[in-house]
Structure 1
Amino acid sequence: MISKVNSRSESIKTLVATVELEPTAGSVYSGVIKEYRDVRGFILLEAPRQIRILGQAPVVRSTLFDMVSDGREFRLWIPPKNKFIVGKSDLRRAAKNSFENLRPQHILDALLVPGINSRKERYVTEESEVDAQRFYVITVVEPAEGRELALRRKIWFERANLDLARLQLYGPHGRYLEDVHYAAYQDFGGVNFPSRIEIARPVEDYSLVIRVEKAVFNQPIAADKFEMKLPEGAELVELANDAEKGDGNDQ
């Protein structure tokens, strides 16, 4: 099972995908696209950190949002709001404006399942049953301060076919960051990949379904595709962690 995780992680170098984005009620995406039944999206990804996501309105195909991340910083352009938001990719804060929670890194984490680093991580494999479905579950931990172990992620595989079914990500102090479900696997040019990906972020209180219509793997992507500059006349919003602002809130 460990070799399967690492093989999957190493096999995806780049991805160019055409997708449909389906926000759930009350999600941060619904504030941008609630009036549309379907939103066409384009995802460009280069392992291990680069990602760009463009969302377009149906029919007219005007840009609803455009966002990039290099693993350190994210940039989010929302033309309907004329806002250009910049912040650290690992930003955690309670945003009053739901748009500030919209981050490409969350989607990157769902698409690129990290391999297991045996030099710094430990793991336990067990079996689990949920709603009459049986799974193999790999729990990955990392040594923390003292003799403690920090929970990093849980990787679920369907026992029947060994397809990746679920990914759970955890942050500092075991905080539950992201829950991803994978389904409807298809062959995309020789790569077995889920055509339905459901992402839930408990901290930011939003979820999103990604339906993959077309996917091309491991083809070169020009570096400038991951660049985004402040549009002329846009309002620049620079975000910081609450802790950096001095209020001590770990959101």
Structure 2
Amino acid sequence: MRIDVLTLFPEMCEGVFSTSILGKAREKGIVSLNAVNFRDFSGNKHNSVDDTPYGGGGGMVLKPDPIFAAVEHVLGIEASPLENGSESAVPSPSSVKPRIILMCPQGKTYNQKIAEELAQEQHLIFICGHYEGYDERIREHLVTDELSIGDYVLTGGELPALTVIDSVVRLQPGALGNETSAITDSFSTGLLEYPHYTRPAEFRGWKVPDMLLSGHHANIEVWRREQALQRTLERRPDLLESAELTLKDKKTLERLKNEIKPE
């Protein structure tokens, strides 16, 4: 997988790209991570990439030309001059069509299902903006996806993009030390994850559940499933509406609901 991040602050990305799971995946050659400063494609002596909005209003808007030029550079597309002095992009011969993702508050709310979908792609390009917003032609004629990580506003798109990238890369084969970790994560199964314990078996009087010390793996799996159902019921009951539940799961949920004491 190849991931390119178009940003005005590539130094924000490089530290994250070089550490933890992302750094190890990069070293193993599982993923190629690149930060591209689209100011380098401004095309003017002042290296400006933004301008005041037509029609007035506060703030500055990112211009389309440096963003388009940066994406075309990443794709290996050459620009040819037109009669009117502007440029037209010559399509890349590559057969891999990237997902070009705009990080913005107006985008679709990101979740684990989208992470799993993006993890199947060969090439992702993230566009990270600052200032007031983007020229609308970037949305209309360049990007394939608009994503938001929540209903709040950040200074720029770098942190959201890095969040998405981390969640996608960890799903790549070989990225995690334990291949089952991603499968059992919260949201991957449609439920919140069951609780975990490790040594010591007793800490400050708090004991590990006897079931986990029993060595009976089939019963442990049943316990973990029930714990996941209970935790989801208590903390995120909305997830149960779309979770894939077996008949046994549904019976377990009914029992758990009956056991909840009214406040």
Shorter-chain TM-score tier: under 0.3
Q: Give 1 or 2 for the bigger CA radius of gyration.
A: 2
Q: Which has the higher helix share?
A: 2
TM-score (structure 1 length as normaliser) = 0.23
TM-score (structure 2 length as normaliser) = 0.22
Q: Which has the higher strand share?
A: 1
